[in-house]
A and B are shown apart, each in its own frame.
Chain A
């Protein structure tokens, strides 16, 4: 308001317009300028007794005042383009999803009621001479005739898709702007922001709804792997949003149908409205399962429907190929092999240096595998999902092989575990090799003293580690108890400081011990024992011990903790390796987004091919769909209509084209997705201001609060889109110029009065 009073016109006019002069600089103007300057000089002689600095100040103030006067005489104008009256349309888009029936936080009105009131009272008036076209959206975009017919009944809010659809397909006139009235609770798919910005239509977003719903606890995100191996532990990542002021405790359950697979309690931290946590549960036997995670609704929860989420989990057998390179025969090697042998899904191939000139291979699939010690080519290395480095000096491998290992993690997405040992990590000179960058700790330069030491060490998971699948080693007791009662380790290698971004899963304590009777002098600070980090597409870890075998040899035979530790570790790192062929499937409203990526044996993307998938609908009907290549990406994808609610199966049916031989057989590459029926509108039901601000900013519009739409009319009048007409807006009578003139003369007068020169 202040801006417009001072400058006479709104900000939008100045942002869009150009300053110029309507008058000419002819004889009159120059004459006036000469007279004013002469008067200034004559008048200035009266202040000749002032010091040089004071005289200069007075002259400058006088010159500035003369400049302002001359500017006014030159007739300054703002040249703008305004919407031509009667030639444009302003589209008003109202969110008609169910979340708009929730309270708006204003006078007990619903969000839809506020939207209707705003349209009738302010938005239609702000459109000026432009026609108003009314639309509403939920899972689709529809035109509305009257405000009265708008109802908050939609099951989805496809905000972004509806905006893009409106801006690109509106054909009933010149569209000058879009005003979207919504709570921003978008639960549709994603679109490229360039789709919105390329239309050039400014979107003004009006946000309705409270930023917080008191008492609401929401299971905002559930991230579950789509596949798991039979009889393994599965980790689900949850994000809980809450407004609990008291740090209350809520119960969390994981269910497969009626069966409770896991349960635990979580304390809601009042200082953190978003809580991320992991929960581990048994995946059970093979088959398709709908896993449900449920928060026990606290009393008075206004939206109990957002406490439950479900996801499909396809439990099927996967094989993990692991390469273990060991530089010396040691017990850890033997017992890792034994733990892996207990898991039918782990294929462990080992290369062991037995003497300075002899090696011993186990688990190889043919006589040539590892015949030269290390895989002969990058392709051969990429056939493994994980590499374990034992007590092996860095000099055992040449520079090219080191480079391959780093690429194995970064590009192939493989897992890599570096273990402690006499010849491992800094003792093995791994600090200077490319792989050092990939490891989660900074490898020190080899020192005079070995960092690898024997001793008795207790192991404890860190707080983060306690929530990791890596520490779920079973047992009837609590997870902490399962670790507390493990036999002590017999060695430790000092790892130094974990890198930023690394996660410490396990820590070691102690270091002094008496063998046999387990007399231990505790002390010392916690030392990182198992540290992990993502690197490129893969994951790396460092394990600062080689004596987990004690967990096997010093416990009863029925104790499975050693085996479970290693099986989880291998599955976690090998299981994250990228497949050469991937098919991802996501349900988006009443459509399926299918995406297929193919790679050759060197894990380079295959794009010179054609991919077909077979879709099986819930009623059993099947049909083939050819997937075009996604623009700008090395993948193939398509959005497939899925009208019937239920579970859809999509299977890769064929590969054609020059790259077919490298792409492998279509095989049983399939994915499942459930379409429809989810209670989406109770999730993320608070005002999503960041999204609405981003939409407005990306398109050249503005974000508005419902209680302050007074400047909307000006914003629309100077909209960059639509049919415009050119206007010159006079500025000679802008209050700012007169105030400036007054300020300059008053300042001069005051100074001269103070200096005694008047």
Chain B
């Protein structure tokens, strides 16, 4: 509703102001954000989660968070900055947030979901995601650990693309080599769980149980009929936290953020070229 009202308000303002020269008004979304001259807008998907506190939402860093907004928007802002610095991709530093049912979802051919361990999609969202993927959209799911959280994603995706099978991408897959040659899939823990001399696996009590083995990070994927990746899930790792927390300490930056950026850049370039 708000979206429609804002759109009408902007249109009304234009009409009251009279006809405007075509090139004096920048391209803007319904939130009034100027979108001029950017090719890629980081787009975070807003979804519903089941359960109560510490399940559908949690308290951290002085505020309540819904699962979908984990690391948002700082992760996208930092990643966009690094993409602009390191690559030829022209990225907006203002991330968008979208429901899967948003009418302009197609304007973001790459969408990002995080912390999907308690996610539950509605029928319209499932249908919209199916259409989005069939059109060539690319979905990246990040920051979910262990068996139960994987099962949550798998349940949802089975409804979206029934009959599809997940494959685990070998390190030889092009996505590991589009820009950087990545030899090992990195495990990135949230900054709070990264301790020098300890492992990189997050503690199991922070995740939905049963967690099972959380030590092995991987990229699992759905491919289309031509073998192109359409959905990737960076499982048992928190790539976006490496972006979000890049300025939280030199040790974390050197050991985790740099690896997060390597993976992120490779994924972005893959999505833009396949």
Residues of A within 8 A of B (CB): 327-331, 333-335, 337-338, 341, 350, 352-356, 358, 360, 362, 422, 450, 452-456, 487, 490, 510-519, 521, 523-524, 549-550, 552-557
Interface of B is mostly: loop
Q: Report Cα–Cα, A518/B7, bound state, in Å.
A: 9
A341 neighbours in B (Cβ, 8 Å)? 226
Q: Report Cα–Cα, A450/B35, bound state, in Å.
A: 15
Query: Is residue B172 contacting chain A, with contact meaning CB distance below 8 A?
Result: no
B198 neighbours in A (Cβ, 8 Å)? none
Inter-subunit contact A514/B28 (CB<8 Å): yes
Contacts beyond the supplied A514-B7, A515-B28: 11 A-B pairs with Cβ under 8 Å: A334-B109, A334-B271, A354-B87, A354-B88, A354-B269, A362-B273, A453-B36, A521-B11, A521-B15, A523-B19, A554-B107
B106 neighbours in A (Cβ, 8 Å)? 487, 550, 553-554
Chain B residues 73-119 with CB under 8 Å of chain A are 86-90, 102-104, 106-107, 109
Inter-subunit contact A354/B107 (CB<8 Å): no
Q: Report Cα–Cα, A350/B178, bound state, in Å.
A: 13
Chain A: which residue is nearest B20 at the CB level? A512
Inter-subunit contact A515/B107 (CB<8 Å): yes
Q: Report Cα–Cα, A352/B274, bound state, in Å.
A: 12
Inter-subunit contact A331/B87 (CB<8 Å): no
Inter-subunit contact A557/B134 (CB<8 Å): yes
Inter-subunit contact A329/B23 (CB<8 Å): no
A–B Cβ pairs within 8 angstroms, 29 of them: A328-B88, A328-B89, A329-B272, A330-B39, A334-B271, A334-B273, A356-B88, A360-B178, A360-B179, A360-B269, A422-B90, A450-B37, A455-B25, A487-B106, A490-B27, A512-B25, A513-B27, A515-B27, A515-B30, A516-B3, A517-B3, A517-B30, A521-B14, A521-B20, A553-B106, A553-B107, A554-B104, A554-B107, A557-B135
Inter-subunit contact B88/A516 (CB<8 Å): no
Inter-subunit contact A552/B22 (CB<8 Å): no
Inter-subunit contact A331/B4 (CB<8 Å): no
Q: A455: which of B23, B40, B268 is its contact (CB, 8 Å)?
A: B23
Inter-subunit contact B35/A454 (CB<8 Å): yes
Nearest CB in chain B: distance from A142 CB, A: 66
Inter-subunit contact A330/B90 (CB<8 Å): yes
Nearest CB in chain A: distance from B23 CB, A: 6
Chain B residues 110-159 with CB under 8 Å of chain A are 131-132, 134-137
B274 neighbours in A (Cβ, 8 Å)? 334, 337
Chain B: which residue is nearest A520 at the CB level? B11
Inter-subunit contact A330/B4 (CB<8 Å): no
Q: A334: which of B15, B86, B136 is its contact (CB, 8 Å)?
A: B136
Number of inter-chain CB pairs below 8 Å? 145
B26 neighbours in A (Cβ, 8 Å)? 454
Chain B residues 183-239 with CB under 8 Å of chain A are 226
Inter-subunit contact A355/B131 (CB<8 Å): no
Query: Is residue B10 contacting chain A, with contact meaning CB distance below 8 A?
Result: yes
B269 neighbours in A (Cβ, 8 Å)? 329, 354, 360
Inter-subunit contact A521/B19 (CB<8 Å): yes
- Identify which of A329, A353, A452, A490 gathers the most chain B CB atoms within 10 Å of its CB: A329
Q: Report Cα–Cα, A354/B28, bound state, in Å.
A: 27
Chain B: which residue is nearest A331 at the CB level? B109
A453-B23 contact in complex given A354-B179, A514-B7, A554-B107, C-beta closer than 8 Å = yes
Chain B: which residue is nearest A509 at the CB level? B22
Chain A: which residue is nearest B12 at the CB level? A519
Inter-subunit contact A333/B7 (CB<8 Å): no
Inter-subunit contact A455/B27 (CB<8 Å): yes
- Identify which of A352, A455, A512 gathers the most chain B CB atoms within 10 Å of its CB: A512
Query: Is residue B8 contacting chain A, with contact meaning CB distance below 8 A?
Result: yes
Give the 10 A-B residue pairs with the shortest CB-CB distance, closest first: A511-B22, A553-B106, A557-B134, A454-B27, A329-B272, A517-B7, A516-B104, A554-B106, A524-B22, A515-B29
Inter-subunit contact A552/B88 (CB<8 Å): no
B135 neighbours in A (Cβ, 8 Å)? 552-553, 555, 557
Inter-subunit contact A553/B136 (CB<8 Å): yes
B36 neighbours in A (Cβ, 8 Å)? 453-454
A517 neighbours in B (Cβ, 8 Å)? 3-4, 7, 30, 103
Q: Report Cα–Cα, A552/B109, bound state, in Å.
A: 10
B14 neighbours in A (Cβ, 8 Å)? 512, 521
B268 neighbours in A (Cβ, 8 Å)? 329
A329-B3 contact in complex given A355-B86, A455-B27, A514-B28, C-beta closer than 8 Å = no
Q: Report Cα–Cα, A335/B109, bound state, in Å.
A: 10
A510 neighbours in B (Cβ, 8 Å)? 22
Inter-subunit contact B89/A454 (CB<8 Å): no
Nearest CB in chain B: distance from A250 CB, A: 41
A556 neighbours in B (Cβ, 8 Å)? 131
B10 neighbours in A (Cβ, 8 Å)? 514, 519
- Identify which of B4, B21, B25, B27 gathers the most chain A CB atoms within 10 Å of its CB: B27
Inter-subunit contact A329/B22 (CB<8 Å): no
Q: A553: which of B7, B37, B40, B109 is its contact (CB, 8 Å)?
A: B109
Nearest CB in chain A: distance from B222 CB, A: 15
Q: Report Cα–Cα, A242/B103, bound state, in Å.
A: 52
Inter-subunit contact A329/B87 (CB<8 Å): yes
Q: A329: which of B15, B30, B89 is its contact (CB, 8 Å)?
A: B89
Q: Report Cα–Cα, A422/B273, bound state, in Å.
A: 18
B30 neighbours in A (Cβ, 8 Å)? 514-517
Nearest CB in chain A: distance from B258 CB, A: 15
Q: Report Cα–Cα, A322/B102, bound state, in Å.
A: 36
B86 neighbours in A (Cβ, 8 Å)? 355
Chain A: which residue is nearest B87 at the CB level? A355
